[in-house]
Structure 1
């Protein structure tokens, strides 16, 4: 998904193995990105081009227009429409819109049918837009009366809603393709105003530098938990397409509409907003957008050059596409400016150390350390992106070779598709220096491509290496389970990969003092309250930042809040993935070393290392709470090392009960197997069977050793709560969820974001069960934690407020 496909990786690995030792040694000794790229370019030949073309054939069907596929999608949409599944119908019609060529009748038919589905979902303006598109693309004249009738209906509904009518009128029941229901469904592209200020670092936070930590953020005043520390927008991002394996992991059958559609079908490919009515690219079937504005902006910024490379880009992976996208957006002038030596003076950044200084603690540092004013760190700051540490000497030789050949192949493929990208057109830009113009010309490149443009490929390679350490996953909560279930569970899914210049300033901790929250909604022009520069030029810098913010206001944004009280002078930290509550110290350190090339010495790792050493010095003594208890006396089990290996021994001296480590593993695997089977039964609308299986599991010998605080016991209780809720037994569901909350509290802590989600679900169950007092006692706790981690505008807070108003009223 992130790396190139397996076939390409194997091909490049074979190329590497065939290199003679002298050439390998030459490549390994290269210390400059430009030299590494040139080496990769010399290793690229027609055979590589042919292989990539062969690999891309299997992916071409996903990006090419196809009227037959459009017709199939439209028929599937009609089937959903007849069963009143208007959301599924809209998604299928949208798929048809994307597959339909511009000149085909299928395009107008899909737009027309989608307008009907959107009308039933009360998306009246979107329905009107689709009616206009259907007419513009040649909807059959003998059927146009249907569209005209629907247009009148939608305009009437809009006028009624704007006049203050509280309820939406029903669509015309005379529509032969289905009737509306009485439930109001929020339009898919309706978003809550987030009130995000222009991105930047808040007052009370400063950029600092040390040789050990590199560039990092520190508190210049006390920061209370919940306070916003920084807001940022990505310089660029790429939506992650779902693979067959990802679809399989969703545990949904193909008869459910959510099993047929992935993130690429539901989100704008530029700003990532979720939408049921995307506007497709006219040249390919895979890129789609929430509006004409997003389509046009993406086309000008990168897609006009990506569009003909759709299948090869899919084969070369998300990271390659993101590296190319960043490079195209920066343009030749942006790259030249970033590569220029840093100048002294008030308008430039002053270096505080020599270029090449590496951070021994963090993975997201800079290779040219210049202390910059806080106000320059926002999503459109290419200089901040360019100078992120690329770890050229940290990557293994074979990985460097893979990246070099991949970047070279991107450059060669792009050069063969047509004229140079406008931002890289040498006729419109100053030429690069003579020393930069000695790179080899791409074999078979287009006539319009100057040899000087090899720099484009070199910059792609630079960003490709940087992204391994600096890419940020954009995730969101997504509903899980069947679409007609009474109760919906949710899980976090990764929808995109991005590069955030400001966020990259934060160093890692396995126990961070910050929480990250993503927003996919529309932005708004607001007052500038963060990162305001002082001095005579403050207003011009503020205006520049507001302009930059508003130009990308529809895009994704990230807000970092303090999850703990942060003292004056304390460093601000966030977690790169391995968290102490989810992973053992040794595993965390291994993963961080492999990906970010540093040995983690955060407070949690140091503390846990000391505990390990103390236990080792204790010579085979019990290792404390294990989340397991003795099946005989209910005392706690402790993990001990004996000559025969590892075993669990009861902490009660009078008991003497013990159990082998292998037996514990077998029992836990049995519980896990039953849990997975129960979840699968619920996905297939068989909650009663799932509940019986889980009840047998909780009283079996396998589960007797699980304490209430064990994570697996928490998962079992959570699944039982979902089964009870699906069958309408809200009281039992709430009781089981409270048991699950005990495990969540033990594993993640009282103030964790995981606890906030558990309390939110508990409030829903109490509300649905009519337990007024219990619900009113849980809602404030859930509100406090959600506000702490996600901010005051998160949708769950609005739902909690609605529940509270209803209960108090």
Structure 2
């Protein structure tokens, strides 16, 4: 049965009978491990056994998905949208195809036909090589060699002559009475007649996207290696742990370049992004065993397997079929990483005991030498789990964690070998219940502490979530509905930069997604209270700042007209830049950024907040910064 069925049984048999002793007994459990033991005993008493939904490699399913892709690819004039849908179906076909198999070879070859339409020539070549390395039918080989030649031609690739020879050899084995073979032979003949120096206009369609290097921090912080020395941490009763400036900070100054402790891809991005690094991948390769993890390279595939996927592999497909939430999937991922990085489960128990016993709220989660090591689970152990969570929510999370634990213990090698599907036996093994407690703890800390790992979708110029990230240092920043910093994601890192001038001693405020200019105060406060358990007391909330359309212009504050016209010109220039970016034209924008910073500083010091033009400038600066981060651009045909 699934968690919903189990919850219904418990409500009917226990809660429905007004069993107050049961409720009181659950309240008496003080630790997450005790709660897991309590729930396992309930499951044992009422014979609640979690179901497993196996979703394994399946040749017939692979063929079905490939045929669906063929129907779209062959039945209508191709558009960018239909190409993307076909690509997704062929990629899913690759995920389901057994390794090695003819189905896998055919799916790779079919995907290569879409990739060449999208001008993804290098990725097309990779898929053709993968198909040819498998049991690809001899009668079809000439066709994909000719496709590969088209890619080599577009790239002016040195392998072109070899591919022409290979294509000719396979064509010679085929009957030219066949119309398709005759067409291929004619095409090959025309390619041979081309001057070697000639290159078609396909070359111009290949757009090299050179990723900008990661920004650098002027001087790194001794206690927070991922942060600038312009930041420090303080603690008080009002704000808890929070970050303040140690010196004056300028707009657009880089403050943090942090690598996540852990990343988890959103399930809906499974066939377009790498499950390990979360990069966009047009020709990803599948896990050899499961259907829900795909990678941009063999390197990412191996790294993922060694770090966590060898355990997840037999668990995640079932959890996805049973509609487990991202938080629940992430809670398992982080627990596996925690056990893996520790020398033993016993050592991890000691570390957990040490952190929980720390009476210094300032240093909790820091390493013994006083440094916040973002690549260690110890950092996450200091995260707030919101102990005042409602009993119902805590009970359901405990039930979810117990279901995950049962599957983990009985279907993986997490504890040496898969254990017997016997809850009574699992209850006797301390390591099992301890790991269950970790999973529950992770479920409780993830919702309030995770960050969205984002990408800019150029068609709409808006940031969307690729997945979830656990960021030990960035979690220390408090919220404001008018933050003085912005975050964006890039190549396995999250970058934070200043938006406004920030004075020495001023607190640095991030945004938990609620901005005063777009969402009314009542809705912001209700949402923040529900999700993060606090009532926002930032300046926009205290003064109930108006929404964007009701903001006053700088003209109302006595700014000279020539300055006003300068900012209007700048905003037009920003809009032109963004419109070009939507078309894939991204040029040097340093002059726009410099002008925006100059105007932001002018308005910040000379006009009261909130102000329409200052808000617009801040939004434009954020948009330009996002363009240096992760992007997902659908190619034009």
TM bucket, shorter chain: 0.7 to 0.9
Contact 2:478 2:510 survives alignment (8 Å): yes
Match of 1:146 in 2: 143
Match of 1:460 in 2: 439
Contact 2:455 2:464 survives alignment (8 Å): yes
Taking structure 1 as reference, are residues 761 and 25 closer, same or farther at Cα in structure 2, changes over 3 Å only?
same
Match of 2:287 in 1: 281
Taking structure 1 as reference, are residues 317 and 571 closer, same or farther at Cα in structure 2, changes over 3 Å only?
same
Comparing both chains, which one has the higher relative contact order based on Cα–Cα distances under 8 Å and sequence gaps of 6 or more? 2
1:70 and 2:53 correspond: no
Taking structure 1 as reference, are residues 308 and 16 closer, same or farther at Cα in structure 2, changes over 3 Å only?
farther
Shift of 1:473: 2.0
Match of 1:40 in 2: 39
In structure 1, distance between residues paired with 2:444 and 2:22: 21
In structure 1, distance between residues paired with 2:262 and 2:234: 25
Shift of 1:204: 1.4
Shift of 1:48: 7.3
SS in 1 for 2:466: strand
Match of 1:227 in 2: 253
In structure 2, distance between residues paired with 1:214 and 1:788: 30
In structure 1, distance between residues paired with 2:591 and 2:148: 48
Number of equivalences: 544
SS in 1 for 2:497: strand
Residues 662-702 of structure 1 deviation map (CA, whole Å, 9 limit, x = unaligned): xxxxxxxxxxxxxxxxxxxxxxxxxxxxxxxxxxxxxxxxx
Match of 1:23 in 2: 22
1:301 and 2:307 correspond: yes
Match of 2:170 in 1: none
Q: Which residue of 297, 313, 318 corresponds with 2:319? A: 313
Match of 2:102 in 1: 105
- Deviating more after overlay: 561-570 vs 595-604: 595-604
Shift of 1:196: 4.1
Match of 2:614 in 1: none
Contact 1:472 1:500 survives alignment (8 Å): yes
Contact 1:209 1:216 survives alignment (8 Å): yes
Contact 2:570 2:592 survives alignment (8 Å): no
Taking structure 1 as reference, are residues 50 and 132 closer, same or farther at Cα in structure 2, changes over 3 Å only?
same
Contact 1:194 1:793 survives alignment (8 Å): no
Contact 1:206 1:218 survives alignment (8 Å): yes
Matched ranges for 1:353-752 at <5 A: 354=359, 368=364, 376-378=372-374, 380-392=375-387, 394-420=388-414, 443=423, 450-479=429-458, 488-519=459-490, 521=491, 556-608=492-544, 709=549
SS in 2 for 1:200: coil
**Which segments of 5 or more consecutive residues in structure 1 lack a partner in the other structure?**
163-170, 243-262, 358-365, 427-439, 480-487, 522-555, 612-624, 628-708, 712-738, 740-749, 769-774, 799-809
Residues 212-266 of structure 1 deviation map (CA, whole Å, 9 limit, x = unaligned): 3222211111111111111212211222234xxxxxxxxxxxxxxxxxxxx3322
Shift of 1:367: 9.6
In structure 2, distance between residues paired with 1:367 and 1:203: 18
Match of 2:627 in 1: 794
Shift of 1:154: 3.7
- Deviating more after overlay: 209-218 vs 775-784: 775-784
Contact 1:338 1:386 survives alignment (8 Å): no
Match of 1:211 in 2: 237
Match of 2:612 in 1: none
CA-based RMSD:
4.7
Matched ranges for 1:155-166 at <5 A: 155-159=152-156
Taking structure 1 as reference, are residues 220 and 173 closer, same or farther at Cα in structure 2, changes over 3 Å only?
farther
Residues 147-191 of structure 1 deviation map (CA, whole Å, 9 limit, x = unaligned): 3344445445444599xxxxxxxx999499xxx98584556x955
Matched ranges for 1:329-348 at <5 A: 329-331=337-339, 334=342, 339-340=349-350
Shift of 1:396: 0.2
Match of 2:122 in 1: 125
Taking structure 1 as reference, are residues 759 and 132 closer, same or farther at Cα in structure 2, changes over 3 Å only?
same
Residues 258-296 of structure 1 deviation map (CA, whole Å, 9 limit, x = unaligned): xxxxx3322112211112211112222222111121122
**TM-score normalised over the length of structure 2:** 0.72
Contact 1:289 1:295 survives alignment (8 Å): yes
**TM-score normalised over the length of structure 1:** 0.58
In structure 1, distance between residues paired with 2:298 and 2:550: 51
Shift of 1:317: 1.4
Taking structure 1 as reference, are residues 453 and 516 closer, same or farther at Cα in structure 2, changes over 3 Å only?
same
Taking structure 1 as reference, are residues 290 and 444 closer, same or farther at Cα in structure 2, changes over 3 Å only?
farther
Shift of 1:116: 3.4
Shift of 1:325: 0.2
Contact 1:49 1:409 survives alignment (8 Å): no
In structure 2, distance between residues paired with 1:491 and 1:332: 37
In structure 2, distance between residues paired with 1:7 and 1:307: 25
Taking structure 1 as reference, are residues 493 and 598 closer, same or farther at Cα in structure 2, changes over 3 Å only?
same
SS in 1 for 2:475: helix
Contact 2:58 2:98 survives alignment (8 Å): no
In structure 2, distance between residues paired with 1:211 and 1:756: 43
**Which segments of 5 or more consecutive residues in structure 2 lack a partner in the other structure?**
160-183, 190-199, 218-224, 554-563, 583-588, 598-616, 632-637
Contact 2:279 2:296 survives alignment (8 Å): yes
Contact 1:63 1:310 survives alignment (8 Å): no
Taking structure 1 as reference, are residues 80 and 416 closer, same or farther at Cα in structure 2, changes over 3 Å only?
farther
Residues 629-671 of structure 1 deviation map (CA, whole Å, 9 limit, x = unaligned): xxxxxxxxxxxxxxxxxxxxxxxxxxxxxxxxxxxxxxxxxxx
Shift of 1:513: 1.1
Contact 2:450 2:468 survives alignment (8 Å): yes
Contact 2:121 2:155 survives alignment (8 Å): yes
Residues 37-86 of structure 1 deviation map (CA, whole Å, 9 limit, x = unaligned): 22222222497765644xx58xx599998233233244146327973755
Shift of 1:106: 2.0
